[in-house]
Structure 1
Amino acid sequence: MATKISDALKGLSRELRYEPTTKHIRALLDGVPVLDSRQAVVVWEPRRVVPCYAVPTDGVVSVLSPAETAVRGGDIPPMLHPGIPFSRHSAPGMALDVSAGGQTAAGAAFRLDDPDLEGYVAFDPGAFDWFEEDDAVQSHPRDPFHRVDIRHSSRHVLVSSSRNVLAESTTPIMVFETGMDERIYLPPTDVNWDALVATDSATLCPYKGTASYWRLARTDAGGDDAGGDVAWSYVNPLAPAAEMAGYVCFYDNLVDVKER
């Protein structure tokens, strides 16, 4: 019987998973080295959507000590999405504080209690400055089984909010990302910028870079919320996503995105 790969991967999501990498991995705390290893593994705790790095203890160049608290067990949500902190662990192990250069990152490491990962310590992606070889890593390690495919399209796309046209284009780019819905990004020249106002929101993606956000310029007669973010763009994306620079994507659950 044939296996649908995405279903098989989802079936593994409740297990502790790892994948070795040959990259030279380093992490710094306020400029002071915390770890330095060429034997790192990419690790997903059970129900974690995004991974972290774990390294053997001989690659740790900081001081590790037992943490006071760590959240584990049945109080963890069914799926640990990116916004759920590293300190909420779903695998057996011990939470650790990390000290280097007079600074301490509380609970920023986790010694895994698993025979296949014996001697490995996982580290919080958000607590340190990370490098793969000599390149900085944003947000969290890239999932080696995750793809982002960018394709140019001639779809005719109209974006509106009540009676207000927010954008219309026949030259969008389509972004197909593993495990996510397809996204339609529109050229900035096809966006009605008078209808949008930039906000202070920003998010980091290890595949695309830093996203900037916009809200509606006013509340339309139809009752649209002018306060929430409705669109985003990677103004200066990472090199693999360079084609997306300046293109704008709208939340299709907040405004009307139609293909004509």
Structure 2
Amino acid sequence: MGLSWQQGPLASRSVGTFLTAAPLPERLLFAEPLRRRMRVQLDGQWIADSEDVVLLHEPGHYPVAFFPVSDIRADVLEPSGRVTQHRELGATTWFTVTATEEPAERSAWQYTDLPDHAALLANRVAFAWRKMDAFYEEDERILGHAADAYHRIDIRSTTRHLVVRQGDKVIAETHTPTVLYESGFAPRWYVDRKDVALDALRPLEGQTFCPYKGLASYYSVGGVDNAAWAYEEAFTEVRRIDTMISFEADLLEIYLDGIRQSLAPGQLVTAHGVDRALDPDELRARTRPAG
């Protein structure tokens, strides 16, 4: 997912290869100007507002936004007395954010003894995503984590023959599947509900959240839990898969043009919780066309 998460180029499980004669370091960190206005909200107050944010990509982590100290409200950061060590970036000083009646402890941090090559992060503070109420780019809330410019989703129509079986039973069959390509993941095949034996699917309780697609609902197929899923209110950006159903290749038999599919590298997804203070109606509003 993006540059440093899942199987991105800087992730520890990258599926790609840097074509260099000498081996690269085991871990590569990448920092860059975000070049977007970003704001942080806590308890109805704007505590940071900047057009000079730097995004840090670290292997195995979502991208993290660092704000210049000068663009953070002066009265909201209180040193907590806690200092830890980052393996590459050195001493890390932690802050309590005091913009609420109950201060948010250890919810912001700053690298205070950076090596020279990491000077881009000097005099900058990051906020713990889940401890703040919301992050915004301009006036639009950003969900899940700072937006990763290297994360991309492409959706394509095709006339390939897709069959989903469970033993002798055909669960789905179509010559018009839709394939979703997402950075860091293997392709996912989605099927229109009219081509699915819906009587074989039983809805399950609970949902997972994708910052790029929305809330996913899951189904049991013939007693096998989580064998199928759908984004029933998919975000506007991926509206083409709204209500379509996808199937898990290691739990059911999936054949594409007669070739059985297997659980490909990158298809295991790490579930992402919904942001703090995110109203379900606000989440659903992202699925509706503007106007």
Q: Secondary structure at the match of 1:14?
A: coil
In the TM superposition, what is the alpha-carbon distance from 1:49 to its structure 2 partner? 4.0
- How far apart in 1 are the matches of 2:234 and 2:26? 29
**Structure 1 residues 211-230: aligned runs within 5 Å:** 211-216=216-221, 218-219=222-223, 226=224, 228-230=225-227
Residue of structure 2 in register with 1:33 after alignment: 46
In the TM superposition, what is the alpha-carbon distance from 1:12 to its structure 2 partner? 7.5
Matched letter for residue 202 of structure 2:
V
Residue of structure 2 in register with 1:157 after alignment: 162
Q: Secondary structure at the match of 2:131?
A: coil
Contact 2:31 2:120 survives alignment (8 Å): no
TM-score (structure 1 length as normaliser): 0.78
TM-score (structure 2 length as normaliser): 0.70
Query: Identity over aligned residues, as a percent?
Result: 29
Residue of structure 1 in register with 2:184 after alignment: 179
Q: What's the C-alpha RMSD, in Å, of the aligned pairs?
A: 2.6
Aligned residues: 231
In the TM superposition, what is the alpha-carbon distance from 1:32 to its structure 2 partner? 2.7
Among 200, 210, 213, the residue aligned to 1:208: 213
Matched letter for residue 154 of structure 1:
T
Which residues of structure 2 form unaligned runs of 5+?
1-8, 10-15, 259-291
- How far apart in 1 are the matches of 2:84 and 2:164? 43
Q: Secondary structure at the match of 2:150?
A: coil
Matched letter for residue 55 of structure 1:
F
- How far apart in 2 are the matches of 1:68 and 1:172? 56
Describe the superposition over 1:190-223 as per-residue Cα deviations: whole angstroms up to 9, x where unpaired. 222222222233222222222222223x43xxxx
In the TM superposition, what is the alpha-carbon distance from 1:144 to its structure 2 partner? 0.9
Residue of structure 1 in register with 2:281 after alignment: none
Contact 1:16 1:91 survives alignment (8 Å): no
Matched letter for residue 256 of structure 1:
E
Residue of structure 2 in register with 1:131 after alignment: 136
- How far apart in 2 are the matches of 1:182 and 1:189? 22
Residue of structure 2 in register with 1:95 after alignment: 94
Matched letter for residue 66 of structure 2:
A
Residue of structure 1 in register with 2:107 after alignment: 108
Describe the superposition over 1:99-142 as per-residue Cα deviations: whole angstroms up to 9, x where unpaired. 31324333322212432210111222333312111111111122
Contact 2:109 2:125 survives alignment (8 Å): yes
> Which range moves more in the overlay, 123-132 or 138-147?
123-132
- How far apart in 2 are the matches of 1:189 and 1:245? 13
Q: Secondary structure at the match of 1:96?
A: strand
Among 17, 23, 38, the residue aligned to 1:7: 17
CA distance 1:202–1:112, change in 2 (3 Å): farther
Matched letter for residue 121 of structure 2:
L
In the TM superposition, what is the alpha-carbon distance from 1:43 to its structure 2 partner? 1.5
Contact 2:37 2:138 survives alignment (8 Å): yes
Residue of structure 2 in register with 1:60 after alignment: 72
In the TM superposition, what is the alpha-carbon distance from 1:184 to its structure 2 partner? 0.7
Confirm whether residue 44 of structure 1 aligns to residue 57 of structure 2: yes
Q: Secondary structure at the match of 2:17?
A: helix
- How far apart in 2 are the matches of 1:69 and 1:157? 55
- How far apart in 2 are the matches of 1:201 and 1:64? 37
Confirm whether residue 241 of structure 1 aligns to residue 241 of structure 2: no
Q: Secondary structure at the match of 1:140?
A: coil
Which residues of structure 1 form unaligned runs of 5+?
75-89, 220-225
In the TM superposition, what is the alpha-carbon distance from 1:51 to its structure 2 partner? 0.9
CA distance 1:39–1:166, change in 2 (3 Å): same
